[in-house]
Structure 1
């Protein structure tokens, strides 16, 4: 058992702290064997240790075996941010008499650090008041032929769209592309009936702290700016470009981190003002009407009183009555918010759609679609409130199999068949971040070479097109009796049907695991004209097939295995294409004087990992780069992961090894750094740091290699810092004078500029052999 537990600890992938979890109890008993309650309760003891005085969050995992605790097949709460240790009621699918279930708890301290319990177990005997498990609709078959009946009078929920989440700095480098390639990429993402045709775009409301693959700037970094919010970064631009291509684009926003002045309570009147001023920037500076606000903190739930008493009234008072609230946008909870709605009409009225993340789980392989995840509850479905998978998938769109394109198409179908979810948003619509940075391979397509204009259109773009090019949000609805599985044991083979709400056109999206013979009966109240067919498989995607015509309202098709098909009575679908430029390496040697963009804009080819770096004016009227976040903000996932320490931005090529990098600096306060051979986030690489007082350090990651002081250092002057790498030899210079030489590990990586939380400035960046 100990060996298996160690495997689980490696899987979870956090560092271990000194606190402890013990006394795991089910119905207040340790490893009980006579549980009759269909919804047992669970608790444990958290023993403080290290820097943590109390629990900061927990995750409960339950499975049919110890091995399956890695991807729980019974229940997984996901990470939750609370100091409570139970008792918590079981919220998974109905348990069975005679089951032995294994469970364990992962807990985070309130000062980071993680601990994992030993596995525990409990056994069910004859259950009192057993519950009936959900069973998906399975199509009838006759002599091996799947029978699907389409009827326009069939009931079904309104289709709300397929979208993407631009957040966590995942769209960073797209902004640096030049037209026409930048416009081409945007067409693949947002142009209807051309590529993916994403119908909903949710963006990050940046807070200046790392939010996954980097940081995004805030529209109000200080309390003073809250009175005069500023358009920063690329998310407003991206929304505008999406809207230009599709005037019906649905827009939404959500924060990950928050500026320091909103600490420690991010759910108050001032934070409501912070949320609403984002709408002001969108409306007044970009002429954008945003449809939804996810009034929460990403994956950290929300606050009922804040929504009811602050956010909704302020939205109404400022003229945003039509902006709707979606929540809780959480990564855990089994749709528990519906329990709160039951006896709270005001809360129920304020939240107009409910979204949860990773509804199908995080088992990124070919069996992901059959993972339990966080299925919607009967209570959630019965309310009739819109249900969303408000962030899901998070994988590389390059793959067809595994967790890739075919799996995603299957998930789109599954979410309606199982969960009655009518909108799915994936992270990320595009991967536009440097290689080796966290989650650098995620995205439906790839564009991370703006200097060459090269990009890649991956199969996931076309897997998404199989839904988005065949149904429009709000104008189409599902036909429930034509939404189901080919085999009751798996969601890998499925079909969903939709029809035009005020018309007779229809579409049918089918995903296969095995070869299938399908007979489709079309009622007279639906179009019986020409049916266009589009097909995707591993070899080629989104290929138009020969149209077919019904005979006596019936068609019959032979479907290939592991394929996606879309049948429709509509027209105009296409597989868009452009000539893509050749890929080239980052320009080397490289010089950057920060003169080619406007003041306040993002610098070209830089990737902020923490903090915010933007173009600023110098005293002589020329331009430079400035770090503008004055104080460490409210860090996203502050309980679950380590901080990125200080503002820093990357530039260059992950393969660079032997080079000299230099930059001019003006130190307003604290310290600045130039780094080299940096491999990604978390300041991993060589860092030459100089303080305002003239003290210096050479660091490798967090290890100090050498340190000293610079004689007669003038803090009121600009200074030139330089690092030289040649094999294992490393040299550092200040104003042309060498202050350090050492020999250490030979590595490769980016150039990095870093700063304390001060308005420090940089200019004349140069990278040469």
Structure 2
């Protein structure tokens, strides 16, 4: 899930990820490093102190899926999957002191077949989560500092205690537990009824607190964090909202950490919650990105108060709107952050000089502005050259997936929305298709949200209309459903249950299907077939292995949308030589 501003007794900045940084890895240099600098490099941009990432669980988590390190119970763990390892290492490279938090949004289906929760066997689930922490250290030299329970789900008391026991058994006493990444109840009262539980977790985490805390939570003496908040940059009032929250979560609720969802808007436009990141980087093909106001709003706190700084009692609300906080490192340094956010506009004023007369500071504040007064002199508004201009996704695109073994398992620009698609290497009896792209899941995950009943990965431009898509596809022996290519796809992601588009399926029973047409085409499993889908204006037709087999009217269907590949049901299927001409 992407970033937070956070304070332990003092102030820290954190970000949360959940399938929202998918396109970031595909940026070429130097643009990729520039983006990372604005996020993580100390005294340069947002200068984040904590990075919170998803413990991939194969399920849909808002704007896509993130792969589990263990798709199946019987397989060995694979810690190459997913981009979170890479992102954590890049953050650590820039700031070795950055803290790392992991939180599951979903879990692989084998942890509870047919269930909607992962607590059928709490010991097995705890072992699964601990294995992710151990794998981070063994394979990537990453120390995970905090681990959560389950995103926006009520916590299970026995699971929390089992997880703590398992962490200790693996000599991971230093890893602290955050519970519950949901609401104030019931975790804030658990400590009253379960004396053992109170010693197992360290932080009460709540989402979207509206600056309010809870009396029972305050009595618990646990750290109180807003473990998911939002900067709402796409809204006119969003920048002011983020500046207010960073101060007022503590001023009103004594909440010492605020986590912003999400880190960077690095997912396809038109997916849900577009531009909710601290900055925008959604065009790896062009190199274009935007450094936006939330980066500098964050810097007003993170560049002038390190983790471990403490709030002074000098905090409060301003009479005519706004708030102020004061923090110190206990060594003589002082930082005061003042926000006067009321309406739509934002002027960011970085540290500035002022006059002191007779020991009194007199400061006139403007409306909808953000100020930092500090003794710290290292703050800096970082700068990189202007990135390339924005460009649409290329109208001609091809991927033959002939890359062999990769550290990151997914092909560039494909964004999985249900299921998990990975590079795959076949045996030598498939010489023409040695390296392919394979949908891996054969069991529906235990999901945080709402997963589709078939798998899909999208690519390209949401505005594509007239298009030709060609792809070689392979149905494996166990298939009972089928495999497809599609165009003009609408509503993927968490809305895929209501997806629209033109889907060209071939099915394991030997037939094909498309929208309002179906027929027998003599299709066989364990054979490679070439599918071609062509859409022009209000009509579409399909070609199977050079034979034109169907034509249909386009009038009932969307006028534009992404290209896509996938399988009918959670079944393994392979793709090769994907080509788009739009």
Structure 1 length-normalised TM:
0.70
Q: RMSD between aligned alpha carbons?
A: 2.0
- Match for 2:285 among 448, 451, 455? 451
Report what 2:4 is aligned to: none
- Alpha-carbon separation, structure 2, partners of 1:748 and 1:209: 26
| Aligned residue-pair number | 554
Structure 2 unaligned regions, length at least 5: 1-6
* Contact 2:350 2:372 survives alignment (8 Å): no
1:112-511 matched pairs, under 5 angstroms: 158-167=9-18, 169-225=19-75, 227-263=76-112, 264=115, 265-267=117-119, 268-294=122-148, 296-308=149-161, 310-330=162-182, 332=183, 334-360=184-210, 375-393=212-230, 395=232, 397=233, 401-402=236-237, 404-474=238-308, 476-480=309-313, 482-487=314-319, 492-501=321-330, 503-511=331-339
**Distance of 1:298 and 1:329 partners within structure 2:** 5
Give how far 1:376 is off.
1.1
Alpha-carbon spacing, 1:335–1:191, altered in 2? closer, same or farther (3 Å): farther
Q: What do the CA deviations read for 1:192-235 (whole angstroms, capped 9, x no partner)?
A: 1111112111111111111111111101111023x534331111
* Structure showing greater relative contact order (alpha-carbon pairs closer than 8 Å, 6 or more residues apart): 2
Q: CA deviation at 1:596?
A: 4.0
Within the alignment, does 1:606 sit opposite 2:435 as a pair?
Answer: no
CA displacement at 1:678 relative to structure 2: 0.9
Asked if structure 1 preserves the Cα contact closer than 8 Å seen for 2:540 and 2:551, the reply is: yes
Taking a change above 3 Å as real, the CA distance of residues 383 and 539 of structure 1, as seen in their structure-2 partners, is closer
- Unaligned runs of at least 5 residues, structure 1: 1-155, 361-372, 516-536, 700-704
Alignment match of 1:564 (pick from 358, 361, 370): 370
- The answer as to whether partners of 1:229 and 1:277 remain within 8 angstroms in 2 is no
For residues 199 and 86 of structure 2, what CA distance do their matches in structure 1 show? 32
SS in 2 for 1:307: helix
Report the Cα distance in structure 1 between the residues aligned to 2:190 and 2:383, rounded to whole angstroms.
Answer: 48
Which of 639, 643, 648 does residue 456 from structure 2 map onto?
648
1:676 maps to 2:487: yes
What's 2:3 paired with?
none
Shift of 1:160: 4.3
The 3-state SS of whatever aligns with 1:633 is coil
CA shift for structure 1 position 565: 0.3
SS at match of 1:733: strand
**Is the deviation greater in 752-761 or in 597-606?**
597-606
Cα drift, residue 344 of structure 1: 2.3
Q: Determine the C-alpha separation between the residues in 2 that align with 1:603 and 1:261.
A: 25
3-state SS of 1:498 partner: strand
What secondary structure, in the 3-state scheme, does the structure 1 residue paired with 2:96 have? coil
**Does the 8 Å CA contact 1:174/1:447 hold for their aligned counterparts?**
yes
Structure 1 residue 575 corresponds to structure 2 residue 381: yes
Cα distance, 1:725 vs structure 2: 0.4
Where does residue 448 of structure 2 map in the other structure? 636
Aligned-pair CA distance for 1:398: 5.0
Where 2:51 maps in the other structure, the secondary structure is: strand
Question: What SS does the corresponding residue of 1:558 show, helix, strand or coil?
Answer: coil
Larger radius of gyration: 1
CA distance in 2, matches of 1:513, 1:170: 28
SS across alignment from 2:136: helix
Alpha-carbon offset, residue 420 of structure 1: 0.7
Structure-2 separation of matches of 1:417 and 1:596: 53
1:764: which partner in 2? 577
TM-score (norm 2): 0.91
Separation of aligned partners in 2, 1:514 and 1:431: 25
Q: CA deviation at 1:338?
A: 2.4
Secondary structure, counterpart of 2:202 in structure 1 = strand
